[in-house]
Amino acid sequence: MKIAIASDDGKNIASHFGRTRGFIVYDVEDFQIKNKEYLENTFTGHVRGLSEEEHHADRHGAILSALRGCQAVISCGMGQRIYNELRANGMEAFIVNETDADQAIDLYLKNALRDNPGKGCDH
């Protein structure tokens, strides 16, 4: 399974999913991390420079395509629309209080990562 974590530096969890510089993508087998790579964010609406109007019309197709194959997506903050769209596309979405990406993966694998959907924004 693959798990993506929004991260600006490849170590810490980003505070905003759409504005993150990239995603740490963990490849996990039998509850063990087999590989992790950093995927530069060139696909969210914020990074592509969409205006507020364009951003609301954007259906997040580019980001959903880029993260296809991920079972879960983790960030410290994200908009409610992308949170719902990730889930509608078969991915678990987590808005977390954790800031360390490796700690979040460890909690996820132990089924102890807590989602805080109320921390999402409605922009």
Q: How far apart are CA 102 and CA 100, in angstroms?
A: 6
How many domains would you assign to the chain? 1
pLDDT band at 59 (very low <50, low <70, confident <90, very high): low
> Does residue 120 form part of some domain?
no
Q: Which domain holds residue 72?
A: 32-111
Domain-embedded: residue 40: yes
Has residue 26 been placed in a domain? no
21 is a domain residue: no
pLDDT tens digits, one per residue of 100-109: 999 999 999 9
Asked if residue 118 is part of any domain, the answer here is no
Please indicate, yes or no, if residue 122 is contained in any of the structural domains. no
Q: What is the pTM of this model?
A: 0.87
Encode pLDDT of 108-122 as tens digits.
999 999 999 877 665
Asked, for residue 119, whether it belongs to a domain, the answer is no
Residue 25 lies in a domain: no
**Residue 90: C-alpha distances to residues 64, 93, 100 (Å):** 10, 9, 25
